[in-house]
Structure formats: structure tokens, C-alpha cells
């Protein structure tokens, strides 16, 4: 049923709130989207869900923004209040509150696009010239004698690197060449700092070029072409540790090795002291085993010689001289090894001479025991028990009666001298004993 008066004029349209919000959203979408906006981040926050919320403002306006988790996960930096950024997204109306907001689909630092394009062009040109060739990359020294560092005196990276080196290799000296790491003067200062360290090579045999993280503008000095060519000219291996793990600069591609952070750069050139102490202990054990094995071999040879020994004591004397010679060589070897070990750093070789001395004493006791056993085999000790050593006039040993005939002359050696004997049918007759000389 039509309740309007026949001659009445039509009134203004009455909108439902939700319908009006949807109509405004449709109009915005048709008129503006997609849209790119530049401004300053304000009130940035990241919810536990992963969504990010902030305002984009300039001197004359402010716009609420929402970036959902999927888009936030694609960011290559951490947005902060005050950052100048460019965002691309879609204008919409948040109907529950009737607020105008920008749903952000991508976000980057303002001006990053032009700098990145310049970076890619320079990178391609230098790569074509061979500055990034892996074949010219050098291995890092296993134990550097001195480490050079190029960074700013006020940089947090310097503190991180020095802390890591002090913890891992406090005995290795560090040479610092300070330089600005940001700003218009930074490339020239970095080049001069590197060249000052080059003049010290090979006393400084590895160099760290480090700086903390920042925007592409903050790190731009490390994309300088002159700096890149200076890095390639380094006479010693050079490690770059610029920015965070996701940051890349021209300096990273030119250096012999890129570290993801300044601290990682320090760790790459400093094997912990405990590792080298462990290696020294292993070498000590191998040296002791080698010396012990040599003494054992000599002892076995002496045992074998003693087992075959059946001649007078002059052979024993000869073996004793050889034994003394080997003992003297062993003592000389021990003294030589001890002198070499005392030249090692005090903190890693303080107890080595004591351990080596203990091992030598044990082996020397073993040699003394072997010498005693050999002395017990001396034939003179057998003669002292009442036995005699019989020989003919030519000095040949008589061990059987078949070797004798009546009238033969025989010499009998006793413990205290010799007796001349003559063989008779009923026995032997003797002459006056000849005392031992």
C-alpha cells in the first residue's frame, strides 16, 4: 500500500549505516585502488597473530593501516616508528567502526627502489669484470698471528667483535683501523683504513670489515665501487661482516668470505683456545707413546741379546756401552723436546715438561732393570760358585772328554785366576796357579 501523498515531493534517501559504509568502500575501491602512499610510520605494533597495525602520516594528514600476517611475513626489514616508507595496498572502510583504513599489501623504505636498482646495476658490472670470481677467494689462516679490524670506534659491531675475540683468542693481538661506516665520507675513510692495514701485511694476516645492521641507505657506503676494488687488492684474506644475515652489499661479494654478522666474522677467524689446548695434549700423548715405543723396542732387542749370550763378560760390556749410548740419546731427545715446549705460550704448555719428565723417569727405570738382568748373566758370577772354564792352549773351550788325550796341556780359569793342567791316564796334574790380573 502506497502511503505517500499524491502531490508530495520525494524526500532524501535514508541509508542504513552498514549499507552506507559498504557504498563508501565500493566508491573508494573503484576510485583509488590499488593505491601507493608515502609517509612516516607512527605507532607501529605487531600482534601475537602476526598482523601489524600502524598509522601513516605526514605534515597534513594521517591514515590508519593494517598489514596482515601473510604480507608482514614478506618484509625484509623491521619497520620502526619514524621510518619513511612507501606502502601499496587498498583503501577500505572498517565497517564495525566506520573507520577509513589502508590494507597494506607491500611495504618498503622510501627511495629503496632507486637505490636497489643502482645496486643491481653496479653489482652486475663488477661481477662481469671478475671481482666476485670464486677462484680468487682465499682460505682463512688457521691460526692468525694478528687480526686487523676496520669499523667505526662508536659502532656496536666493534664491541661485539672485540668481545668475541677476547673470549676465544685472548692471546692474539688485534690492530684497529677506525673509519666512518655511514655517510658521504665513509667510503673514502674505509678505503684509507684498509690501505693502512695492507701496509702492515703480513704481520696482520687477516682483516675484518664489519658494521651493524641498518637500512639500505645506512649500508650504502659498502656498495662503493672504489671500496670494492680496494677490497680485491687486499694482500691477505678479508672477511666482511656487514649488517644482518639478510643484508648484502658489494663488499660482501668482493671479500674472501662473507659472515652474516660482525660477531660471526670474529668467530670465523678465531678457533677457541680450548681447541688448540686439546690438540697440544693429543700431541703430547703421541710424543710420549713414540718415546715409550722406542724404549720398548730397544729393551726387547737387549732381552734377545741376553738370551743368546754365552760368551765371556766382554760381550756384556759391549752391550752395556750400547745401552748407555741409547740412554744418552734418549736423554738428549727428552731435553730437546723440553726446550721446544718451553717456547710455547705459557698458558698452554705449563705442565708439559712435568708430564714428559715423569714418562722419561719411568722408561729410564725400565732400562736400569734391563741392565741389572744383563749383569746377572756375567760368566764371572758362575765361576765364583765353584765352576771352572777349561780351554786348550789355543784358547778353545773344552766341553767334552773326547777333546782330551793323556799328556795334553789344559788351562783352567777359576774365579781368582788360572791353573795350568796336564792330562794323565788317571787324572790331571797341575802347576802353580796363575793369579787373575
Distance CA 425, CA 101 (A): 142
Assign a CATH topology to domain 17-110: OB fold (Dihydrolipoamide Acetyltransferase, E2P) (2.40.50)
The reply to whether domains 17-110 and 136-268 share a CATH topology is no
Predicted confidence (pLDDT) per residue in 272-323, tens digit: 766 767 777 788 888 888 888 888 888 888 877 776 665 556 666 777 788 8
pLDDT at 240: 96
Predicted confidence (pLDDT) per residue in 24-36, tens digit: 767 766 666 788 8
| 154 vs 247: which has the higher pLDDT | 154
Q: What is the CATH number of domain 136-268?
A: 3.40.50.261
In the chain, domain spans? 17-110, 136-268, 273-377, 382-435
- For the chain, state the CA radius of gyration: 47
Distance CA 66, CA 61 (A): 17
Q: How large a percentage of the chain has pLDDT more than 90?
A: 28
With bands split at pLDDT 50, 70 and 90, how would you rate the model's confidence at 408?
confident
Nine-digit cell string for 427: 787324572
pLDDT at 11: 63
Q: pTM for the full model?
A: 0.46
| 100 vs 342: which has the higher pLDDT | 100
Q: Nearest 5°: phi and psi at 433?
A: -60, 145
Taking residues 417-428, what's their average pLDDT? Answer: 80
| 247 vs 167: which has the higher pLDDT | 167
Distance CA 256, CA 132 (A): 9
Closest Cα partner for 73 from 50, 104, 46?
50
- Under 8 Å between Cβ of 115 and 223: no
C-alpha 121: how far from its chain's center? 36
Name the least confident of 122-126, 134-138, 221-225, 305-309. 305-309
Q: Nearest 5°: phi and psi at 228?
A: -60, -45
Per DSSP, the residues of 268-308 read: HT---HHHHHHHHHHHHHHHHHHHHHHHHHHHHHHHHHHHH
pLDDT at 350: 56
What is the DSSP secondary structure assignment for residue 25, as one 8-state letter? H
Question: Which residue reads 693481538 in cell numbers?
Answer: 173
Polymer length of the chain = 437
Amino acid at each position: 500500500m502506497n502511503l505517500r501523498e499524491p502531490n508530495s515531493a520525494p524526500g532524501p534517501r535514508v541509508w542504513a549505516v552498514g549499507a552506507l559504509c559498504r557504498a563508501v568502500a565500493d566508491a573508494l575501491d573503484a576510485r583509488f585502488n590499488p593505491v601507493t602512499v608515502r609517509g612516516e610510520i607512527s605507532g607501529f605494533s605487531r600482534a601475537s597473530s602476526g598482523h601489524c597495525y600502524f598509522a601513516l602520516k605526514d605534515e597534513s594528514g594521517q591514515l590508519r593501516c593494517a598489514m596482515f600476517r601473510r604480507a608482514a611475513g614478506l618484509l625484509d626489514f623491521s619497520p620502526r616508528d619514524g621510518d619513511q616508507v612507501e606502502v601499496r595496498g587498498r583503501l577500505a572502510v572498517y565497517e564495525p567502526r566506520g573507520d577509513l583504513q589502508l590494507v597494506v599489501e607491500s611495504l618498503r623504505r622510501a627511495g629503496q627502489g632507486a637505490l636497489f636498482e643502482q645496486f643491481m646495476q653496479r653489482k652486475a658490472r663488477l661481477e662481469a669484470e671478475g671481482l666476485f670470481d670464486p677462484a680468487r677467494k682465499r682460505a682463512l689462516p688457521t691460526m692468525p698471528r694478528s687480526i686487523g679490524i676496520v669499523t667505526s670506534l662508536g659502532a656496536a659491531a666493534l664491541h661485539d667483535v672485540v668481545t668475541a675475540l677476547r673470549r676465544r683468542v685472548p692471546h692474539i693481538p688485534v690492530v684497529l683501523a677506525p673509519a666512518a661506516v655511514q655517510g658521504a665520507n665513509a667510503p673514502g675513510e674505509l678505503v684509507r683504513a684498509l690501505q693502512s692495514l695492507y701496509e702492515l701485511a703480513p704481520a696482520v694476516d687477516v682483516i675484518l670489515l664489519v658494521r651493524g645492521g641498518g637500512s639500505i641507505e645506512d649500508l650504502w657506503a659498502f656498495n662503493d665501487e672504489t671500496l670494492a676494488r680496494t677490497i680485491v687488492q687486499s694482500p691477505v684474506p678479508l672477511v666482511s661482516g656487514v649488517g644482518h644475515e639478510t643484508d648484502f652489499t658489494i663488499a660482501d661479494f668482493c671479500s674472501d668470505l662473507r659472515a652474516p654478522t660482525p660477531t660471526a666474522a670474529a668467530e670465523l677467524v678465531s678457533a677457541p683456545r680450548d681447541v688448540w689446548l686439546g690438540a697440544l695434549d693429543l700431541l703430547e700423548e703421541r710424543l710420549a707413546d713414540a718415546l715409550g715405543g722406542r724404549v720398548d723396542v730397544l729393551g726387547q732387542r737387549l732381552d734377545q741379546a741376553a738370551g743368546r749370550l754365552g760368551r765371556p763378560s766382554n760381550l756384556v760390556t759391549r752391550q752395556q756401552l750400547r745401552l748407555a749410548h741409547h740412554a744418552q740419546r734418549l736423554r738428549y731427545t727428552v731435553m730437546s723436546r723440553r726446550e721446544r715446549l718451553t717456547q710455547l705460550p705459557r698458558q698452554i704448555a705449563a705442565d708439559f715438561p712435568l708430564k714428559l719428565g715423569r714418562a722419561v723417569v719411568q722408561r729410564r727405570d725400565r732400562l736400569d732393570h734391563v741392565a741389572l738382568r744383563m749383569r746377572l748373566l756375567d760368566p764371572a758370577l758362575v765361576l765364583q760358585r765353584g765352576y771352572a772354564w777349561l780351554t786348550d792352549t789355543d784358547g778353545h773351550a773344552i766341553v767334552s772328554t773326547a777333546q782330551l788325550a793323556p799328556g795334553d796341556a789344559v788351562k783352567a780359569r777359576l774365579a781368582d785366576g788360572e791353573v795350568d793342567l796336564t792330562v794323565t791316564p788317571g787324572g790331571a796334574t797341575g802347576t802353580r796357579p796363575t793369579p787373575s790380573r
